[in-house]
Amino acid sequence: MKIKLRFFGQLKELTGTEEAEIQIKENTRVEDLIWLLGERYPNIREFLNHVSFSIDNEYASKDTVLADNNEVGLLPPISGG
Amino acid sequence: MVELTSKKISTDAVLEQVEAHSTGGVVLFLGRVRDHAEGRPVNKMAYEAYAEMAKVKLAELEAETCQKWPVKKIYIVHRTGLLELGEVSVAIAVACAHRKDAFAACRYAIDRLKETVPVWKKEYFSDGEAWVKGVVPEVKKATPSSQ
C-alpha cells in the first residue's frame, strides 16, 4: 500500500519536496515510517525526532498504524500567530 | 467563521464579521510583523500553512472557544505568504454580551491557535533568514483516522 507525504517549513526546504508518495507494508506505524524517511531523506534524519506527524489532518501519535492512502504530514514545531 | 488567506487582512472587515446587536463587548486581537526578534532587526516575515489541516484546526479552535465562553460571534483569520513589517498576520475578533467573556475567549483563542494550528513562520534579516523556533503540538491519544 502507499501513503502520501506532505513536507512543510524547513523539511520542505531540506528535501526540496512538497509532496511525495511512499510504499509501506501493512501495519506500518508512524515510528516505522520515521525510519523509512531517514533512509529516503538522509538530510532530514537528525530533525525527525522533533517532527510531529499528522494523518489526514489530525495530529497522530507515533504508535498509530498507517492505512492505505493516508496523507501524512511532516510537521516541524509550529510557529503561527 | 475561520479563514486562511493570502490577502491583506483589513481590520474593518474583521470587525464587520462580528457585528451583532446582542453583543456589548468586542475584543479584537491583531498579530503583526515585528521589526525585531531576539535583538536582531527583522525586515519581513514569511508564513506557510498546511492549508487543509490549518482550516480543520481553526474550525476546531472556533468550536472549542464557543464551548468554553458565551460567544455570540467569533472570527479568526490567519495570513499566509510574505508579509512586510506592520502587516497583520493573524486577527481574532470575539463578540460577547459582556467584555469579561470577550477578553477571556479572545485570549484563549490566540494562545491555543499557537499550540494547534499548523503554520510556520520565517524571519528575514538583512544578513539571512531563519525559521522561528516553534512549539510541538500535543497529540491526542485517540487516532481514529487510522483505525
Q: Where are the alpha helices (DSSP H) in B49-144?
A: 51-68, 99-116
Q: Do A77 and B134 touch (CB under 8 A)?
A: yes
Q: What is the DSSP letter of A67?
A: -
Question: Which has the closest alpha carbon to B68: B27, B31, B103?
Answer: B103
Select the residue of B121, B139, B146 nearest A59 (Cβ to Cβ).
B139
Tens-digit pLDDT profile for residues B66-119? 999 999 999 999 999 999 999 999 999 999 999 999 999 999 999 999 999 999
In a domain, A78, yes or no: no
In a domain, A72, yes or no: no
In a domain, A30, yes or no: yes
Shortest CA gap A35–chain B (Å): 19
In a domain, A81, yes or no: no
Shortest CA gap A24–chain B (Å): 14
Can you give the pTM of this predicted structure? Answer: 0.94
pLDDT band at A25 (very low <50, low <70, confident <90, very high): very high
Tens-digit pLDDT profile for residues B2-44? 999 999 999 999 999 999 999 999 999 999 999 999 889 999 9
Number of domains in chain A: 1
Name residues whose C-beta falls within 8 Å of residue A35's C-beta, 6 or more positions apart in sequence: none
Q: Which residues of A touch B37 (CB under 8 A)?
A: none
- Check residue A42 and give left, alpha or beta (phi > 0: left; psi -120 to 50: alpha): alpha
Query: Which residues form the domain of A10?
Result: 2-66
| Predicted ipTM beyond 0.90 | yes
Q: How many CA atoms lie within 13 A of B145 on its CB side?
A: 20
Q: Do A54 and B121 touch (CB under 8 A)?
A: no
Which CATH number belongs to the domain containing residue A18 in this structure?
3.10.20.30
Domains assigned to chain B: 2-126 (3.90.1170.40)
In SS3 terms, B96-113 reads as ECCHHHHHHHHHHHHHHH
In a domain, A73, yes or no: no
Backbone angles phi, psi at A57, to 5 degrees: 70, 15
Name residues whose C-beta falls within 8 Å of residue A42's C-beta, 6 or more positions apart in sequence: none
pLDDT at B141 over 70: no
Q: Do B114 and A78 touch (CB under 8 A)?
A: yes
Inform me whether the C-beta atom of residue A49 falls under 8 Å from chain B C-beta atoms: no
Select the residue of B90, B133, B140 nearest A77 (Cβ to Cβ).
B133
In a domain, A34, yes or no: yes
